[in-house]
Amino acid sequence: MDDDQLSQILKAASDLTRRQLLTTLVQQGPTRVTDLARHFDMSLNGISKHIKVLEGAGLVARRTLGREHLIEARLEPLRAIETWFGVLKSIWDLRIDALDALLSKKDDEDE
């Protein structure tokens, strides 16, 4: 996954309403857009705009069954965030290990 895709995922997940939509979809499974809109104090058009952002980031997928549009969560893209945080954690772990080694060396010298 490239940096642009990661940025798109993070931007989509940065909005409280979109996070709540994802939570609702994970809890309830595929849900009609009109049913999703009932959970929020927002117009159908407003919910649709949030869904489009989530679709653009690959966090939800739309299935059309006749006239119904079912939205379902796709959590695979969130692995990119986990990977990114893992890299950050590794960097900090290396820095902490280096600091620990430096402090241990100083303690040995002071004795």
Provide the number of structural domains found in the chain: 1
**Cβ atoms within 10 Å of 43's Cβ, excluding its own:** 10
CATH of residue 102:
1.10.10.10
What is the pLDDT tens value at each position of the chain, 111 positions in all? 678 888 999 999 999 999 999 999 999 999 999 999 998 888 999 999 999 999 999 999 999 988 888 999 998 888 877 887 777 776 676 677 677 777 777 667 777
Does pTM surpass 0.75?
no
Residue 84: burial class (beta carbons within 10 Å; 0-12, 13-18, 19+): middle
Domain, as residue range, for 85: 3-110
Of 11, 17, 16, 82, nearest in space to 43 by CA: 17
